[in-house]
């Protein structure tokens, strides 16, 4: 690729784009955002102003007519697939906000298209780029955990339900906290486990508080009539290597902490907890535990995520978060919903 700046087109100019994606691209001297598309012209113009471009579109197909190297997709979940497929079909590398898609079939369609066209495709899982995530991964790579036989994943909020329709309307989001915040902790945990293949899941997804309860919400009121996703989900996962996992996700529940986002590994050599980056082990009959000392400073994980994707495009490296890993994450979440609907354990699709 030439030494010109990476030319980036942004599809979806809302909150996540304005807060972290645009600043992340603006922080890279080797990249520039040249256009923004959003169904709302006002939102697109606001995002474009932050990005420093005047090219604004309400149809992303018009954006794709620009001279672009990269497309960054920040739309509501259900709109990811058509935007990503169109961008890949047009020959552009793509980074897309999590979840990449809400079904494994859609993830596979994206991934196989990217592979066929020799394009980079990355899911924006920024927790891998946090300081504690980097430290935990280094500890695993050093063999300090060993074979993981069980894991715990929690993404539990006391009362942080996002009121935007893009989150609470199932036609837009494809799921509630399981897809919104559960995907963060699950991806991080699977990454630390070296992505064993999930084979079967027993799960439940239910609405406990969001439809009619008087639970207060720290993010304000929401449309209870439009609310059509779960506010709590849990699952028990079996992997092909014999390991198991428990996952819990909620936007609302009675707990002391406003939010608990965590992953805990139980290995034959030691245990590891994220994001605390604490470890426990026993050597020569002596118990030991402590907190990992990060060797890498990570001032802004979202920016590091963007920088890693730019690097993989510019230097023809592997995707930092490849679709072949993402499909296992989505397979688990998809299976939790399927198990909840059928009331029985289900096989994980891939």
Tens of pLDDT, residue by residue over 92-134, are 999 999 999 999 999 999 999 999 999 999 999 999 999 999 9
pLDDT for the residue numbered 17:
97
- Model confidence, pTM: 0.95
Pair 168, 307 in one domain: no
On the question of pLDDT at 1 being above 50, the answer is: no
Pair 308, 292 in one domain: no
Which H or E run contains 31? strand 31-37
Pair 277, 307 in one domain: no
On the question of pLDDT at 2 being above 60, the answer is: no
Pair 287, 314 in one domain: no
Give 154's strand partners: 248, 262
Domain range for residue 72?
A: 6-126+301-321
Domain CATH code at residue 239: 3.30.360.10
Check residue 235 and give left, alpha or beta (phi > 0: left; psi -120 to 50: alpha).
Answer: beta
Pair 277, 191 in one domain: yes
Tens of pLDDT, residue by residue over 145-184, are 999 999 999 999 999 999 999 999 999 999 999 999 999 9
Under 8 Å between Cβ of 287 and 252: no
Pair 106, 119 in one domain: yes
Pair 306, 274 in one domain: no
Task: Assess if residue 61 is contained within a domain.
Answer: yes
Residue 330, number of CB atoms within 10 A of its CB: 30
Torsion 92-329-133-22 (CA) sign: positive
Work out how many domains the chain is built from and give that number: 2
Pair 151, 268 in one domain: yes
- Phi, psi of 136, deg, nearest 5: -65, -40
Task: Assess if residue 217 is contained within a domain.
Answer: yes
Q: What is the mean pLDDT of the chain?
A: 96
Pair 103, 142 in one domain: no
Task: Assess if residue 1 is contained within a domain.
Answer: no
Domain CATH code at residue 73: 3.40.50.720
Task: Assess if residue 155 is contained within a domain.
Answer: yes
Pair 139, 112 in one domain: no
Pair 151, 231 in one domain: yes
Q: Nearest-5° angle of CA 17, CA 135, CA 178?
A: 50
pLDDT for the residue numbered 299:
74
Pair 76, 135 in one domain: no
Task: Assess if residue 336 is contained within a domain.
Answer: yes
């Amino acid at each position: 690729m030439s030494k010109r700046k990476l030319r980036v087109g942004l599809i979806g100019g809302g909150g996540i784009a304005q807060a972290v994606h645009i600043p992340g691209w603006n922080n890279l001297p080797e990249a520039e955002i040249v256009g923004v598309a959003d169904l709302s012209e006002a939102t697109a113009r606001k995002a474009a102003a932050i990005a420093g471009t005047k090219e604004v579109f309400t149809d992303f197909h018009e954006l794709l007519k620009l001279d672009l190297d990269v497309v960054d997709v920040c739309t509501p979940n259900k709109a990811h697939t058509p935007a990503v497929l169109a961008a890949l079909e047009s020959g552009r590398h793509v980074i897309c906000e999590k979840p990449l898609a809400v079904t494994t079939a859609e993830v596979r369609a994206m991934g196989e298209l990217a592979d066929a066209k020799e394009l980079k495709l990355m899911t924006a899982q920024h927790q891998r780029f946090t300081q504690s995530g980097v430290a935990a991964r280094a500890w695993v790579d050093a063999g300090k955990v060993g074979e993981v036989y069980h894991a715990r994943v929690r993404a539990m909020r006391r009362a942080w339900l996002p009121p935007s329709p893009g989150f609470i309307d199932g036609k837009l989001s494809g799921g509630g906290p399981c897809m919104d915040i559960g995907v963060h902790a699950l991806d991080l945990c699977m990454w630390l486990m070296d992505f064993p293949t999930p084979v079967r899941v027993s799960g439940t997804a239910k609405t406990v508080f969001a439809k009619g309860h008087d639970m207060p919400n720290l993010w304000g009121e929401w449309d209870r009539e439009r609310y059509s996703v779960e506010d709590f989900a849990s699952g028990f996962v079996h992997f092909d290597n014999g390991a198991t996992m428990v996952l819990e996700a909620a936007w609302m529940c009675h707990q002391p902490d406003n939010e608990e986002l965590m992953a805990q590994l139980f290995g034959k050599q030691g245990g590891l907890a994220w994001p605390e980056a604490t470890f426990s082990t026993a050597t020569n009959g002596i118990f030991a535990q402590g907190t990992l000392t990060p060797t890498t400073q990570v001032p802004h994980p979202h920016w590091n995520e963007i920088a890693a994707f730019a690097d993989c495009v510019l230097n023809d490296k592997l995707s930092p978060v490849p679709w072949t890993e993402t499909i296992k994450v989505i397979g688990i979440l998809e299976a939790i919903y399927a198990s909840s609907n059928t009331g029985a354990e289900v096989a994980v699709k891939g």
